[in-house]
Amino acid sequence: MANIASQKKRILRSERERVENRRITSAIKTYFNRLEKAAEEGDAEAIKTEHRDLVSKIDKAVQRGAIHRNNGARKKSRAARIVAGDAS
């Protein structure tokens, strides 16, 4: 454990940020699962809604710095392939 006060604060802040980032990335995974499920069922309206929600979550995560922008772009591309029916 650190002895310096600023380092103690930094440790606490890092943990808070880590938990928040985990919450965001976990939510993105959940939205991916929902999109894949909607795609399997073939419900066009649900697919459209889930895709819009997923892309929004990804964009917000990138903006916050929870995920890297290239990672976000890759996830959005993967989601677009699922929507198009080319899931591979």
Domain extents in the chain = 24-84
Residue 87, pLDDT score? 55
Query: What radius of gyration, in Å, describes the C-alpha atoms of the chain?
Result: 17
Average pLDDT of the segment spanning 23-35: 97
A 10 A CB-CB count for 18 gives: 10
Q: What is the pTM of this model?
A: 0.86
Average pLDDT for the chain = 94
pLDDT of 86 over the 70 cut: no
Helix orientation angle between 5-41 and 44-64, rounded to the nearest 10 degrees = 160
Strand, coil or helix: 1: coil
